[in-house]
């Protein structure tokens, strides 16, 4: 089943020059990028995006970090895209993430783990709608 998921290169990924690396891994896998933008996330938008973590001890640090610099937000489409992207991204804690995954290969710090990706169909739908309007998501054929 074709799904859409939300992927974001976080401020550490942008700052380290890893936008292309992340996009490239998604594209090489065969996923299709159907929306993409760079933005500095406003505080309120960050709090909405991370609402499920509101009670966590790291919530304030998370919001302050994710708003600290530009991010690259994407909508990624493909067969089982949500779990396929989660597998490419690897575990939240980069110390545990498998080599070959984005976090396993490129990160060391749980707070600065290069990318965010939706973890379920519900969060994909919710997160996409926070960052993109329907008319920003493009419909096109990918030849492969």
Judge contact between 105 and 113, C-beta under 8 A.
Answer: no
Placement of tokens 């895209």 in the chain: 81
Six-digit token pair at 96?
């545990």
Closest CA to 90 of 77, 80, 104: 104
User: Choosing from 9, 78, 116, 127, which is the catalytic residue?
Assistant: 116
With respect to ligand CMP, which residue has the nearer C-beta, 43 or 53?
53
- Tell me: does residue 110 bind ligand CMP (CB under 6 A): yes
DSSP string, 61-106: HHHHHHTSS-EEEEEEEEETHHHHHHHHH--SSTTTSPTTSHHHHH
User: CB 53 → ligand CMP: shortest distance, Å?
Assistant: 6
The answer to whether 113 contacts ligand CMP (rule: CB under 6 A) is: yes
Phi, psi angles (nearest 5°) of residue 71: -125, 165
Question: Candidates 20-28, 76-84, 97-105, 109-117 — which segment interacts with ligand CMP by CB under 6 A?
Answer: 109-117
Distance CA 10, CA 68 (A): 10
116 in active site: yes
Q: What binding mask, one character per residue, do residues 39-78 give for ligand CMP by CB under 6 A, x or -?
A: --------------x----x---x----------------
Based on the shown chain and the rule CB under 6 A, indicate whether residue 111 belongs to the binding site for ligand CMP: yes
By Cβ distance, which residue is nearest to ligand CMP?
116
- Which positions touch ligand CMP (CB under 6 A)? 53, 58, 62, 92, 110-111, 113, 116
């Amino acid at each position: 089943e074709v799904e859409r998921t939300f992927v974001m290169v976080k401020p550490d990924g942008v700052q380290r020059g890893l936008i292309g690396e992340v996009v490239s891994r998604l594209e090489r896998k065969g996923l299709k990028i159907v929306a993409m933008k760079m933005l500095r996330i406003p505080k309120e938008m960050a709090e909405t995006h991370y609402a499920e973590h509101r009670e966590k001890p790291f919530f304030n640090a998370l919001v302050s970090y994710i708003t600290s610099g530009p991010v690259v937000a994407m909508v990624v489409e493909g067969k089982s895209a949500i779990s396929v992207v989660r597998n490419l991204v690897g575990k939240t804690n980069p110390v545990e993430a498998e080599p070959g995954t984005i976090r396993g290969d490129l990160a060391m710090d749980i707070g600065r783990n290069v990318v965010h990706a939706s973890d379920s169909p519900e969060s994909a739908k919710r997160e996409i709608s926070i960052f993109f309007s329907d008319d920003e998501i493009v419909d096109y054929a990918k030849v492969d």
